Structure 1
Amino acid sequence: MGYESWSKEDLIARLTLLDAEKEPPRVATASSPPNPRRLWRTFNFSSYPRRKIALKFCYSGWAYNGLAIQADPTPLPTVEGVIFDALAKARLIDPDAGLEGCGWERCGRTDRGVSAGGQVISLWVRSALNNASPAEEPRPPEKSVSSPEESADSEDAFPGDFGSLDDMDFPAPTKAPIKSEHSYTLILNRILPPTIRILAWSPAAPGFSSRFNCKSRHYKYFFAPDNLDIRLMSEAASLLVGLHDFRNFCKLDPAKQLTTYLRRIMSAEISPVAGSASGMHVLDLKGSAFLYHQVRHIMAILFLVGSGLEPPSVVTALLNVAPGAEGDANLPVVDTRPEYQMADALPLMLYECHFGPGDVEWQVEEEDDADGLSPLGAGLYHQLHSLHARAEMYAALDHEFLRVASVHHAPPPARLPLNVTGFVPDGRTAMNVPLGGAEFRRTAKYIPLLERNRGEHFEVVNERWRVGKGARRDERRKAVDDEGDE
């Protein structure tokens, strides 16, 4: 038989057939264990009941390319991508159905480098209870995949070895009621890397949405108070409280086509961080909802105020987007954002998401302890305590590096705050303008915010996107829909 004209695929198929004919038939025995991979291939998610739950978790933002799963590859993993893979590995969701198939929704999006202490997602998962609701269809999230510009990076989905679930027993549904639910926190934390920890889970009503049921969000921004006037910063922060138009404190995102930038800030307070040996301070900012990069823009302005480069009243001026918007006819109208650099992402944390009464009832599980003495949740606490202790060791070492270096290298003279040192910019001497996260912008000439170049009005930005990228996106979607109708 001549094989010269055979394709590669045909040759491989022929060789596979010949190898199979040479092997003696295998005789299955009663003691032969089932093949885990075959079980995976035949696992039928539709045979199991599902329920809607909320997951509360924390993560180290510097290790990830942001929260949201991206359509394109990213240099670091995304938090949602790692959690999705863990849920799929635990067979709690069907990976082939994607985010839409499990009704995935997030409470608040965080960008590259931003951490969270109490992020929340809601989704449908496999349940061990027969009275779960398999018939409920998940509502697709408003936006399941984001553009790469809007977030951050990626590495291995499972950078650490935290055990395998390949040998777990997943019995077929039975008519007899099962009283105990899956230990969702334990299962996921065995798979997830230490930089992501599931803190608790809660049963959720079928119509519950972690995004739309959230009543308020609490952000924290940590910073060193060196050369900053905390009193002035606190005065400026207090001017943010209330319902205001924050268009000058955010990055415009034309893809969202926003026409209003009204947001309510419930509280904005600056205070020392409890237990901080270095005197670290934190801005606690609570609001009903936030705009794109709003917190980082707010901190950038507060740093300028704390440095003595801007007065606290600049906050009121930036909020005055129309004549008399802030109740003072003498204020300048700033209807488009002046050019300035937002603060660094590293010190920012989504600290907590608040829901209404009865929306969530957080539950935790803990590994069985042989002596029965460990309190509930002790294992997870010890894991996080170990991470904190190790971080303190690194900080102690870095402090010693700085101390020994100071023997040979004197620290530079403080250039800020201007109102304390008496230093006045002369256009020749460089200043360090703080950006947070131990980052600075060096400049010799400072231009007051209200005298800087302004960006375009959001209506102009929205229209340009609508006739450009938006129109092309709609054409692609129409082409896909037309193909589906054929």
Structure 2
Amino acid sequence: MKVAFKLGYLGGGYHGFQLQPEVLTVQSVVREALRGLALNDGSFCYAGRTDRGVNALGQVIDFFIDPGKADLAIPRVVNSRLPPDVWAWAWAKVPENFSARHAALWREYRYILPKDGLDLDLMRGAACELLGVHDFRNLSSEKSRPTTRDLMKLEISEKNSSIILDVRADGFLWNMVRKIVTVLEVAGSGERDLDWVRELLDTGINQGVKAAPAEGLILMDVGYQGVEWTCEPYSMRMAQERMSKFWRREMALAEATGVLARAMFV
């Protein structure tokens, strides 16, 4: 029997998602939770790697279990073995040939950045240039795989003093989202124009941009065909309470940092 989970996590306390020797990763704590419940040997497939500092709401994993232990393969039970900054909140029975990675039709990320005088119209103009099927070699850190992707969605909105970027594609290259964010930020500042954005999509011109910081990035969702998710309200409520505590702490830290920064102006 194979099941799939939707995972959320705060990435700040981990060295990325993927298992690495002698450091704490999201995969390592999930592996230990599955082992601790004797659901399997801790092995599972995941939809995508996220770098250190990247957060998630809709990471997907799948794993085999003994049908006799199906009552343990639910979010609230697995969450009892996970740290408070990693949680499962939905599950589904999936076919034995299902792969969280290879069955994915699309992945969607959100990036949050300070507005800081950026022009949303300029950013949306740059976003239009990036939409569709392009070779994103200059907007990734990929060194070997093919770099053509279909950027299906790139929406820009404003909330309070932040800009929200929602990005969906059939697949993402290493650092692709964070480099797209940099392009939109540079365009939104008026520093570079649309000709520069078009040049970045020209693989005959070897150039690139720096990746935006990882902390603003969230893996929001992964799309599949025919998977019927069961959301678990208890796990969602517990996660909300935990996140509220983290949020209040981070808001206090942000305000204190602002006080210190403003005090340096003379």
TM over 0.5: yes
Structure 2 residue matching 1:269: 3-state secondary structure: strand
Q: Cα RMSD between the aligned structures?
A: 2.1
Structure 1 residue 60 displacement after superposition = 0.4
Assess, with a 3 A threshold, how the Cα gap between structure 1 residues 379 and 300 changes in structure 2: closer, same or farther.
Answer: closer
Assess, with a 3 A threshold, how the Cα gap between structure 1 residues 405 and 320 changes in structure 2: closer, same or farther.
Answer: closer
Point out which structure has higher relative CO (alpha carbons under 8 A, 6+ apart).
2
Assess, with a 3 A threshold, how the Cα gap between structure 1 residues 397 and 288 changes in structure 2: closer, same or farther.
Answer: closer
Alignment match, 1:291 = 173
Structure 1 residue 403 displacement after superposition = 4.7
> Do residues 311 (structure 1) and 193 (structure 2) align?
yes
Query: 1:91 pairs with 38, 42, 49, which one?
Result: 38
Which residue type is aligned with residue 107 of structure 1? A
Does the CA-based 8 Å contact 1:267-1:285 persist in structure 2?
Answer: yes
Give TM-score, length-normalised by structure 1.
0.52
Partners of 2:162 and 2:245 in 1: CA distance? 17
> Do residues 267 (structure 1) and 122 (structure 2) align?
no
Assess, with a 3 A threshold, how the Cα gap between structure 1 residues 88 and 400 changes in structure 2: closer, same or farther.
Answer: closer
Alignment match, 1:172 = none
Structure 1 residue 206 displacement after superposition = 0.9
Partners of 1:317 and 1:239 in 2: CA distance? 10
> Do residues 383 (structure 1) and 265 (structure 2) align?
no
Alignment match, 1:363 = 230
Structure 1 residue matching 2:155: 3-state secondary structure: strand
Does the CA-based 8 Å contact 2:39-2:73 persist in structure 1?
Answer: no
Does the CA-based 8 Å contact 1:238-1:269 persist in structure 2?
Answer: no
Does the CA-based 8 Å contact 1:233-1:312 persist in structure 2?
Answer: no
Which residue type is aligned with residue 19 of structure 2? I
Partners of 1:405 and 1:67 in 2: CA distance? 33
Which residue type is aligned with residue 14 of structure 2? Y
Does the CA-based 8 Å contact 2:89-2:235 persist in structure 1?
Answer: no
Alignment match, 2:51 = 111
Which entry has the higher C-alpha Rg, 1 or 2? 1
Alignment match, 1:410 = 265
Structure 1 residue 392 displacement after superposition = 3.0
Structure 1 residue 364 displacement after superposition = 4.3
Give TM-score, length-normalised by structure 2.
0.91
Alignment match, 1:342 = 211
Alignment length (residue pairs): 266
Structure 1 residue 349 displacement after superposition = 0.8
Instruction: Provide, for residues 269-294 of structure 1, a one-character-per-residue CA deviation record: whole Å limited to 9, x for no partner.
Output: 11023xxxx42111100111111111
Which residue type is aligned with residue 110 of structure 1? T
Partners of 2:253 and 2:135 in 1: CA distance? 45
> Do residues 120 (structure 1) and 60 (structure 2) align?
yes
Does the CA-based 8 Å contact 2:92-2:228 persist in structure 1?
Answer: yes
Assess, with a 3 A threshold, how the Cα gap between structure 1 residues 384 and 318 changes in structure 2: closer, same or farther.
Answer: same
Partners of 1:316 and 1:110 in 2: CA distance? 27
Structure 1 residue 342 displacement after superposition = 1.4
More strand by share: 2
Alignment match, 2:104 = 214
Instruction: Provide, for residues 135-192 of structure 1, a one-character-per-residue CA deviation record: whole Å limited to 9, x for no partner.
Output: xxxxxxxxxxxxxxxxxxxxxxxxxxxxxxxxxxxxxxxxxxxxx7335212111110
Instruction: Provide, for residues 421-443 of structure 1, a one-character-per-residue CA deviation record: whole Å limited to 9, x for no partner.
Output: xxxxxxxxxxxxxxxxxxxxxxx
Structure 1 residue matching 2:71: 3-state secondary structure: coil
Structure 1 residue 389 displacement after superposition = 4.6
Alignment match, 2:76 = 186
Alignment match, 1:199 = 89
Assess, with a 3 A threshold, how the Cα gap between structure 1 residues 196 and 390 changes in structure 2: closer, same or farther.
Answer: closer
Partners of 2:119 and 2:129 in 1: CA distance? 16
Structure 1 residue 119 displacement after superposition = 0.2
Which residue type is aligned with residue 220 of structure 2? Y
Structure 1 residue 390 displacement after superposition = 4.4
Structure 2 residue matching 1:346: 3-state secondary structure: helix
Partners of 2:249 and 2:29 in 1: CA distance? 28
Which consecutive residues of structure 2, in runs of 5 or more, have no partner in the other structure?
none
